Amino acid sequence: MDADKLAEIKAHLLQMREEVLKESERVYAEAQTLGKDGVPDIGDMSSNSYHQEVLMNLSATQRSRVRDVDAALDRIDQGVYGLCARCEEEISPRRMEVRPFSRYCIDCKTEVEKFGE
């Protein structure tokens, strides 16, 4: 992959990272305010608890996405971006376009999901 394309991908990954972090901060702030708007009844408490849990899980998903993006940025720096971490073959450009933080080609991803690794 040429240097210009890698620079473009890196800029895109950094933008993705920033967007996820901002969204995560917003979700966290929203989760902290649930149930603090007066004296809730038992139904409100149950609903607020559920919504707070959903928001916190979303935040965990976002943290996972940041780790994926950071790992992709590391692979760019190491010169192995776009190569499968398992078979070391090139990951299809279309897959990298859709999921620029992909670590595995489609075949290896299927195997990893099926058998774990």
Instruction: Name which of 29, 35, 33 is nearest 59 in CA terms.
Output: 29
Is the distance from CB of 62 to CB of 23 less than 8 angstroms? yes
Residue 82 CA to residue 8 CA, distance in Å, equals: 14
What element of type H or E holds 98? Answer: helix 93-98
Residue 44 has pLDDT above 70, yes or no: no
Question: Using one digit for the tens of pLDDT, what is the confidence trace for 60-69?
Answer: 788 889 999 9
- Considering Cα of 58, then 60, then 64, then 67, what sign does the dihedral take? positive
Question: Using one digit for the tens of pLDDT, what is the confidence trace for 12-26?
Answer: 999 999 998 888 777
> What pLDDT is stored for residue 46 in this prediction?
64
Q: Which residues pair with 90 in a beta bridge?
A: 83
- What pTM was computed for the model? 0.71
Residue type, 66: V
